[in-house]
Structure formats: C-alpha cells, structure tokens
Amino acid sequence: MNQPPVGSLSRHRELGLSDEDAVQMYAKMRTARMFDERVLLLQRAGKINFHVSGIGQEAAQVAAAWALDRDRDYFLPYYRDYGFVLSVGMTLRELMLSVFAKAEDPTSGGRQMPGHFGHKRLRIVTGSSPVTTQVPHAVGIALAAKMKGEQRVSFVTFGEGSSNQGDFHEGCNFAGVHKLPVILMCENNQYAISVPVHKQLGGKVADRAIGYGFTGLRVDGNDPLAVYGVVKEAHRRALAGEGPTLVEAMMYRLSPHSTSDNDLAYRTKEEVDENRAKDGVLSFRQYLIDAGAWSVEKDEELTAAIRRELDEATKYADEAPFPEAESTLLHVYADGSEGGK
C-alpha cells in the first residue's frame, strides 16, 4: 500500500476510516475535552471535591479505542482516560454520577474517586489508585481469553511515570513469555505529577519492549490517525497470536495533575502554551475541515449539543441521591452478611 503523503487529506480513508468514523472520533475527543473543562469548573465552584484531568490526552485515547474491537475486547484504562471510556460506551451522565459520587455511579456506586473506571457490561475493568497494578490484570485477562479460546484483546494504559513500577515490568515479562494478546499503551504526558520525564526515564518506554521480546513503538499522541494505525496493527498482531505490543504515545498533560495541584510551581506558562498549540483535538478538527468532512458550522452545532448533554448530565448527577450511609457496609464479600461488621 502506498503511504499517503504527509499532510494528505485522505489519511483516515487510507486507514480504513470513513469520513463518518473520523467525525465520530473527533466528536468523542471534543466531548471528553468539554467534560473535563466542565468538571474543573464544578470543582472550582465547590460543587465537587476533586478532579483529575486528561486534557491534552484525548486524541490518542479516542484513536486507540477506535482501533479496538469495542464489542469484545477488555479495557483497563487509567485515571485520565475519559476520552477512552466515552469511546467504549460510557456516557456523560455516568461519568458525572461518578464525579458527584452518587449511588447510581456505575463504576463504584460513589465509592471511588472519579477517574477510577469500571463497568463490567462494557468490559471496563475496575481500577485502583496504586499505579500500574492493572498491567498484570490485563495480562491475566489476555491469558484467560487465550485459555478459553476466545478471540479477544486486552488493552491497558498507564503513564510514563508508572511505567517504572515493578508491576509494569512483571506484567510485560509474563505477557512476552506467553505471547499474549495484550496491547499496552503508555500515555507519555511528560509529567508524573511534578517530576518531568527526564527525571523518570533513562531511556524510552517503547524500547523496554525489546527486553520482553515483543514490539515497542513510539507514536505521536497528538496525531490520532497515527495512534489509530499503530493500535490497529497491534490489534491484528494480538489476534494473530503474534503477542503483545507496547505503544508509547507522546503527548503533553495540558492541565495540572489534579485539582489539588499548582503546575506552575514546576513548569512555565510558556511551556504549557507551546504545547497547547500542538493540541491533537484542535489539529484533528482542522484536518477534518480541510478534508471537507467537517465545518465550523457543524463544530458549533456539536459544541452546543455537547453543552446541552453536559448540562443535563450535571443536573441529573447533582440531583441524584448519594448512597445510603449504611450501604458503606455492603459488598465486602459476595455474601453481604459477612462484611462490614
């Protein structure tokens, strides 16, 4: 297949994505961005306690999701993956219920911090706060799928800081030994809270795959079509029995680590602005407009529609009841009577 020239306006079609696919991807990115901005405002307004943001990472998240089998695969997203979970079926209302810690929150019934996703029906595997514990889980899920002869891939994400945890390495090695159908995507956003990447990594995350006997690739995380292509190929390889792939998507965390973080204590506004100019969501919008698949008018309509949906979701979640206090005692074990005494 001939590679399209750089700047080609048919890159998405070359990858097998229709105009409609590409527009839908953009809509999810935009939804995730606007959700994130809304939740930051809600926190600043004192409506909610805490938010951990994924602004700047949506393009890669959505693109990766689009490259997977969203009806069969298992997903182990990390706490910034709003774009990802929206792409595999979570709704704004569900995310808002989690943000407000309400009883109806499908991820945890209002127990976990926002961003700690889980949704069994959507095969989004429950996650925790100690970072990268989900990598061995993804490997175990891939192992189980292989043992049962079921054609599924598990997809797991994490940051570059947490790629230093033992669980990352133990999971990668296990997956490499057994050539398991797992895709590991590092969202390298340049910061682990305040510590910059040059103090986290002596080399490249992608290169670590060599040590585990599988493919590692670096990709521009601000280029959703590049991410889509890489993850699509990783998915093909996984299903073909060719083993795991480690993808290091390069991006930049435009927002502070969380609502408890003042990022200008450790980086400059100039640096943030420089990266804001590379924002993958905005450049993808421009690409779609240039390709004739999108327009400023349609973008305004989309923005208004997302805003309405956000308003509705916020209102619904704000008014929804908290869990009963006594429900704190439930679900320690399968037989609820044994727990919480």
Active-site residue list: 253, 257, 266
Residue from 71, 270, 326, 338 touching another protein (CB under 8 A): that is 338
> Judged by CB under 8 A, does residue 167 bind another protein?
yes
Give backbone dihedrals phi and psi of 184, rounded to 5 degrees, phi first. Answer: -110, 120
Residue from 10, 16, 72, 128 touching another protein (CB under 8 A): that is 128
CA separation for the pair 144, 54 (Å, rounded): 31
Q: How far is the CB of 172 from another protein (least distance, A)?
A: 9
Q: Cα–Cα–Cα angle for 60, 254, 258, nearest 5°? A: 105
Beta strands (DSSP E) in the chain are 74-76, 154-159, 182-188, 191-192, 195-196, 215-220, 245-250
CA separation for the pair 179, 170 (Å, rounded): 14
**CA atoms 307, 305, 123, 107: torsion sign:** positive
> Judged by CB under 8 A, does residue 179 bind another protein?
no
> Judged by CB under 8 A, does residue 16 bind another protein?
no
> Judged by CB under 8 A, does residue 6 bind another protein?
no
> Judged by CB under 8 A, does residue 317 bind another protein?
no
In 10 A of CB 14, how many CB atoms?
Answer: 14
**CA atoms 283, 284, 290, 295: torsion sign:** negative
Residue from 1, 6, 147, 265 touching another protein (CB under 8 A): that is 147
Q: Which of residues 26-55 bind another protein (CB under 8 A)?
A: none
Contacting range for another protein; rule: CB under 8 A; set: 15-23, 106-114, 202-210, 225-233: 106-114
Residues at the site binding another protein, with contacts judged by CB under 8 A: 74, 105-112, 116, 118-120, 125-126, 128, 130, 133, 135-145, 147-148, 154, 166-167, 170-171, 173-174, 177, 330-334, 338-340
